[in-house]
């Protein structure tokens, strides 16, 4: 999936960079030779919070915006199969899709119950912005939300609550500090897909593909690999050659 992500991103964007720790950088950049335009180290994240994955996304997006101006983060299993429109590229904030309590009442209940336990709380969650992709041209507010979310999530008062590892907690804690924190700032963000995620037909027409929860679906992964082989045969062959040599 990393090979697909970086090659499709390079097809559409002039500057594709990687953020990771030393282990990830050695594997993906040095050993597998994935063709990022640059790579940058993430700041230290306490081991107690390493299950709150959106801390990484927030740090990376903030740093990219401060370095380069308007920027997007997108997940390694999320791909633009076609070039995004100029309107999308110019939007203040882009997300995968918007969602509310109507679309996912259980998630909102989990997030709100957790937020209520925090000594330092986030704004009351009312809208989520699915973050397979996130970013845009509103650089001032993007940096502000990233910094505020990291501050609240890592402050000493909240550390015991964020460090607890209840089943599935890393996901909905990440949703609170990322997707719902952005939703509080951009109630009218531009979604690639219809609210709630749309239908499979909407996804195909959008040219955006996010494998997401399908990473254990071998049929879906085979389709993805076929797309990678058809679009980037030489790059795929080189990637697998390097992988076999590890």
Residue-wise pLDDT for 35-78, tens only, equals 999 999 988 888 889 889 899 999 999 999 999 999 999 888 88
Nearest Cα to Cα of residue 126 among 88, 158, 159, 100: 100
- Tell me what pLDDT residue 76 has: 87
Instruction: For 66-110, write each residue's pLDDT tens digit.
Output: 999 999 998 888 888 888 899 999 999 999 999 999 999 999 999
Q: How confident is the model at residue 199 (pLDDT cuts 50, 70, 90)?
A: confident
**Enclosing H/E stretch for 154:** helix 139-154
CA 198 to CA 179: how far, in whole Å?
17
pTM: 0.91
Q: Using 50, 70 and 90 to split pLDDT, how confident is the model at 220?
A: confident
β-pair type (71-74, 38-41): unpaired
Non-local CB neighbours of 125 within 8 Å, separated by 6+ positions:
108, 111, 112, 115, 176, 180, 183, 184
């Amino acid at each position: 999936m990393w090979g697909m992500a970086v090659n499709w991103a390079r097809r559409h964007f002039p500057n594709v960079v990687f953020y990771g720790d030393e282990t990830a950088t050695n594997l993906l950049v040095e050993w597998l030779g994935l063709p990022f335009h640059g790579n940058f180290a993430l700041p230290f994240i306490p081991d107690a919070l390493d299950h709150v994955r959106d801390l990484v996304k927030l740090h990376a997006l903030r740093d990219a915006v401060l370095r380069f101006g308007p920027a997007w983060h997108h997940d390694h299993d999320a791909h633009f199969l076609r070039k995004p429109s100029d309107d999308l590229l110019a939007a203040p904030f882009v997300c995968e899709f918007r969602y509310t309590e109507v679309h996912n009442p259980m998630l909102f209940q989990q997030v709100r119950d957790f937020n209520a336990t925090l000594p330092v709380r986030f704004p009351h969650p009312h809208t989520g912005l699915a973050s397979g992709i996130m970013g845009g041209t509103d650089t001032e507010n993007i940096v502000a939300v990233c910094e505020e979310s990291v501050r609240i999530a890592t402050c000493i008062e909240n550390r015991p609550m964020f460090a607890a590892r209840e089943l599935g907690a890393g996901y909905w804690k990440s949703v609170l500090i990322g997707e719902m924190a952005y939703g509080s700032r951009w109630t009218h963000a531009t979604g690639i897909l219809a609210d709630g995620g749309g239908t499979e037909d909407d996804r195909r027409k959008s040219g955006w593909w996010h494998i997401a929860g399908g990473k254990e679906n071998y049929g879906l992964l085979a389709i993805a690999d076929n797309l990678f082989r058809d679009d980037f045969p030489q790059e795929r062959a080189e990637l697998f050659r390097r992988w076999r040599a590890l």
